[in-house]
Amino acid sequence: MEQLLGELRAAFQAEKDAGFTINNSQDPASFKRLNDRVQLLLKSYTTSNPGGGGDWRRFALFNSTHYVRNLVEANEDFELLVLCWKAGQVSRVHNHAASHCWLAVLDGQMREIQYQRAAPPPGEEAAAAAAAPGGRATDGGGAGDPPGSTVYVEATKSVDMKIGDVGYINDHLALHSVGCYTAPQQLPPSSTGGGGRGDDDGGAHTGGDGDSGWRLEGGVTLHLYSPPIRRVKIYEDNTVSERTPGYYSKGGVRV
Ligand SMILES: [Fe+2]
C-alpha cells in the first residue's frame, strides 16, 4: 500500500508541477496522462493483492447495517479509501462534485449502476419544473441540483465488477450507485464459518503473515477521489439532498 501511495502522490504531483489543475474539468491531455497512470497503478495493486491476502486488509472494517468508508490517506490532492460492503449493501445514487472518482475491486463481486437525468413522468412535468427553478443541467452530474430540488434519474448502464476491475466516473459522465448484490448464501463457504471477524467493534483485523482469518463478507473496493470530496449530492425518491461523507475508520482505527 505504501508503494501505491507513493506512486499515486508522484503521478498527481507531476501534473501539478506541469501547471495543471486537477479536477473533472482538467486539461484533456493532462487528464489522459493521469487517468492512464492511475488506472494502471490501481489495477496493478489490486491484481497483486487479491482477496484477503492484500495489505489493504488492515483498513477493511465492515458494519452490519450499512457499507462503510475506511480512510487510507487524505492529502490536498486526493483521498484513498477502502470501502467495505457486506452482502446486499448498496450505496444510494450520488454525484462526485468536481472530482475524479476511480474505483477498483479488491475482493468479492461488485456492481456499479450509472444513472442519467430522466424526463419527469407524464403528469408531473409542472411539479418538477416548479421544484427545479434552475432548470436541468445538461451533463450527467449534479452541479446544478440544489438540495430539495426534484430530479428524476434513470439507470442507463450496469457494470459487474470483479477483483482487479477498475472504473472511473465524474459528474460529466453520470451519477452512480455502487453495491454488493451478492446474496449471503452465495459467499464462499469459508466465509460463513468460524466467526473470527466481528463487526461494529471497530477492531482492525490485521492478522499475521499467512493468516487465514480473512473471510469474505461481501465486497471490498478501493476508491480514489481527486480532489477530495467534501460534499456529495444524493438522488433518492426524485429528490436531491446533500451530505458530508464521513469515515468509519482512519488508518485502520475506528473513529
Ligand atoms: Fe461514487
Q: Tens digit of pLDDT per residue, the chain (255 long)?
A: 999 999 999 999 999 999 999 999 999 999 999 999 999 999 999 999 877 778 999 999 999 999 999 999 999 999 999 999 999 999 999 999 999 999 999 999 999 999 999 998 887 776 666 665 544 444 555 558 999 999 999 999 999 999 999 999 999 999 999 999 998 888 877 644 443 344 444 444 443 444 557 778 899 999 999 999 999 999 999 999 999 999 999 999 999
Q: What is the pLDDT of residue 131?
A: 62
Does residue 235 lie in a domain region?
Answer: no
Does residue 10 lie in a domain region?
Answer: yes
Does residue 241 lie in a domain region?
Answer: no
Q: How many CB atoms lie within 10 A of CB 110?
A: 28
State pLDDT tens for residues 138-188: 455 555 899 999 999 999 999 999 999 999 999 999 999 999 999 888 887
Domain count, the chain: 1
Does residue 131 lie in a domain region?
Answer: no
Phi-psi region for residue 190, left (φ > 0), alpha (ψ -120 to 50) or beta?
A: alpha
Does residue 53 lie in a domain region?
Answer: yes
Residue type at 25? S
Q: Which residues contact 221 (CB under 8 A, 6 or more apart)?
A: 82, 83, 85, 103, 104, 105, 106, 110, 178
Does residue 231 lie in a domain region?
Answer: no
CATH number of the domain where residue 56 is located? 2.60.120.10
Does residue 220 lie in a domain region?
Answer: yes
For the record, the C-alpha cell of 100 comes out as 475524479
For the record, the C-alpha cell of 203 comes out as 477492531
Ligand 1 center to residue 211 CA distance, Å? 32
Domain that holds residue 31: 2-114+153-203+212-226
Q: What is the pLDDT of residue 130?
A: 66
Does residue 188 lie in a domain region?
Answer: yes
Ligand 1 center to residue 206 CA distance, Å? 27
Ligand 1 center to residue 15 CA distance, Å? 23
The answer to whether the bond into 227 is cis (omega within 30° of 0) is yes
Ligand 1 center to residue 5 CA distance, Å? 20
Ligand 1 center to residue 110 CA distance, Å? 13
Paired with 117 in beta bridges are 153
Ligand 1 center to residue 101 CA distance, Å? 7
Predicted model pTM? 0.86
On whether the CB atoms of residues 214 and 52 are closer than 8 A, the answer is yes
Please report, in range form, the residues annotated as the binding site for Fe cation.
Answer: 94, 96, 176
Ligand 1 center to residue 93 CA distance, Å? 8
